Chain A
Amino acid sequence: MKEKNWFQTLIIFIVLFAVYGVVQLGISENLISDYYQTNIFLAGINIILAATLNLINGFTGHLSLGHAGFMAVGAYTSVVVTMKLGYPFPLAVLAGMVFAAVVGFIIGLPTLRLRGDYLAIATLGFGEIIRVILVNVEYLGGATGILGIPRLVNWTWLFWGTVLTLVLIRNFVRSSHGRACLAIRENEIAAEMMGVNSTYYKVLAFVLGAAGAGFAGSLYAHYFYVIQPSKFSFLLSFDILVMVMVGGLGSLTGSCVGALLLTVLSALLQNFPEFRMVLYAVMLIISAIYRPQGLFGDKEISAQLLSRWGGIFRATSRSE
């Protein structure tokens, strides 16, 4: 048992390094055009956003529509720290996450304590307010935003940042704390009766999700040179929601696939923004009605599952 785990971990690491290395090579050797690089970075950031939103929506069962807002908080905070205060980037990332988490706490505690379904409205409103505030604050560049942000994020940061986010979320979800969140999603009253402090866990998941969005925001800001309030409108929140819904509530694999799928779709439909949103709207309704569990449900493609498939494959090939 122990040895097999070891073996799996090794394989996962090899695969990860392979992906990392190949893309890095492609970037260094200029084999990947700017267009593709941009989309690869967007995909990574989308994966972080979708996975962290899934923590709130999928694992704890409460709808948040403020993910873009938390991303904005993270982005602006980190840019202030690097550009205006002149501190190093890692500190800026930390500050962005902490500040996003604090804002998440302020919104989450009163809303989640009672009626979880008010969270959707509160977060949607919050996202819009953040945008309005950003537009009005001169120090943060107003509507034009902040230009000329140094590019401090490279492929290494992005790739390992994404991997780390996924690993941490997975570890959280598969711990007693994650089980408590799942219990709340399944039946809040029963969860309380089993000793789960439901307010604590709902707020915890929300705050962690917000911090994750803040992380994505700081990566985004320090790769794309520019941040503008309009980038973080509620449309982005809806995009992330669609990624989570399409991939599957409660599946990290699903979030990754959903994020990749929507990154591609968005790139293809760039010139038809209204049509894109109508399509997403239909996808939301259909996935809610026919497949709330999304493409993956709460399944994960893990090394175990893969090796089981491998097992099936071996078994069939042997019988031939």
Chain B
Amino acid sequence: MPLLEVSKLSKSFGGLVALYNFNLAVEQGELIGLIGPNGAGKTTVFNLLTGLYPPSSGKMVFAGKDLRGKKPHQITRMGIARTFQNIRLFGNLTVLDNVKIAYQSGHNYGLIPAFFRLPPFQKKEKEIEEASLELLEIFRLRERAGERAANLPYGEQRRLEIARALATKPRLLLLDEPAAGMNPQETKELQSLIRWIRDHFQLTVILIEHDMSLVMGVCERVVVLDYGSIIAEGTPEEIKEDPRVIEAYLGEEGVAS
């Protein structure tokens, strides 16, 4: 059974059909690329999967459970985490708190221990802090732990977003243009980071990206969207050669080699 099975998923906003009959089956451990020109409906797929919008029609099943009608936080607890195309950190909070908030959802204590600082508070807080710092260490953000998230340079903000998403302990990670705004060096590092976290945390990853070198370098399978519909699907090599994909990208930015 695939980890995620999406069938005939559609979404329209008023008259605009943002996504039409989208099908996707993702096996445990896969690293899938989702590409397409601007406005193709890529982010909409993520928004539907994470419960931010209700789908107009279609099915989404994750680990045998129906995702429809679930609230975002419930979906997060089922094991799906994401990052945002337009970074959505908790800007005025510290880097450490950003991660703690994500981590604590599965490791919380009651209100009474919080009000009176009872032993469960002490114990869990320590656990939350240690785990969060460990995660920051992996992402080379530990020295930044006490800084305001909004003060980080752009590349580090993107890294923090990924770290924060991982802190929710997902099985499926959705990355929405993680390389946007990064320089080539940072993108290179990101590429190995994505592979590494997939192996280290035994994740399944869906990656939306405009940077073709990143997609082609890291994904095993690529799905191409255009005007809300899938126009091609296959290995990076197949996609590169596909005339429909080249056509869709013509006048956009051309197919990056």
Q: Do chains A and B touch in the complex (CB under 8 A)?
A: yes
Q: Which of chain A's residues have a CB closer than 8 A to the CB of B73?
A: 192-198
Q: Chain A interface: which of B2-10, B61-69, B86-94, B199-207?
A: B86-94
Contact call B128/A189, Cβ cutoff below 8 A: no
Select which of A171, A180, A195, A198 is within 8 A of B77 by beta carbon. A195
Expressed in whole angstroms, the Cα–Cα distance for A213 and B227 within the complex equals: 53
Within the complex, the shortest CB–CB distance from B57 to chain A, in Å, comes to 23
Expressed in whole angstroms, the Cα–Cα distance for A194 and B73 within the complex equals: 7
Contact call A171/B114, Cβ cutoff below 8 A: yes
- Whether A194 contacts B164 in the complex (CB less than 8 A), given A171-B117, A176-B100, A189-B52, comes out as yes
Contact call B81/A193, Cβ cutoff below 8 A: yes
Q: Which of chain A's residues have a CB closer than 8 A to the CB of B109?
A: 175-176
Expressed in whole angstroms, the Cα–Cα distance for A192 and B101 within the complex equals: 10
Contact call A298/B92, Cβ cutoff below 8 A: yes
Residue interface bits B104-133, CB-to-A below 8 A is 1, else 0: 111011010011110001001100100000
- Whether A182 contacts B97 in the complex (CB less than 8 A), given A177-B111, A195-B76, comes out as yes
Which of B90, B109, B125 neighbours the largest number of chain A CB atoms within 10 Å of its CB?
Answer: B90
Within the complex, the shortest CB–CB distance from B230 to chain A, in Å, comes to 25
Q: Which of chain A's residues have a CB closer than 8 A to the CB of B168?
A: 194-195
Q: Which of chain A's residues have a CB closer than 8 A to the CB of B167?
A: 194
Give the size range of B's interface with the partner. Answer: 35 or more
Contact call A179/B72, Cβ cutoff below 8 A: no
Select which of A172, A179, A298 is within 8 A of B101 by beta carbon. A179
Residue interface bits A292-320, CB-to-B below 8 A is 1, else 0: 00000010000000000000000000000
- Whether A193 contacts B76 in the complex (CB less than 8 A), given A175-B114, A179-B100, comes out as yes
Q: Which of chain A's residues have a CB closer than 8 A to the CB of B124?
A: 176
Expressed in whole angstroms, the Cα–Cα distance for A177 and B91 within the complex equals: 18
Nearest A residue to B108, CB-CB: A176
Expressed in whole angstroms, the Cα–Cα distance for A191 and B249 within the complex equals: 35
Q: Which of chain B's residues have a CB closer than 8 A to the CB of A178?
A: 114
Which of B52, B81, B101 neighbours the largest number of chain A CB atoms within 10 Å of its CB?
Answer: B101
Contact call A182/B77, Cβ cutoff below 8 A: no
Contact call B88/A190, Cβ cutoff below 8 A: yes
Which of B50, B52, B92 neighbours the largest number of chain A CB atoms within 10 Å of its CB?
Answer: B92
Which of B72, B93, B102, B108 neighbours the largest number of chain A CB atoms within 10 Å of its CB?
Answer: B72
Expressed in whole angstroms, the Cα–Cα distance for A187 and B97 within the complex equals: 13
A117 at the interface (CB under 8 A from B): no
Within 8 A of A (CB), among B158-185: 164-165, 167-168
Known: A192-B72, A192-B73, A197-B71. 10 other contacts (CB 8 A): A168-B115, A176-B108, A182-B93, A183-B93, A186-B90, A187-B90, A191-B101, A192-B71, A193-B84, A197-B73
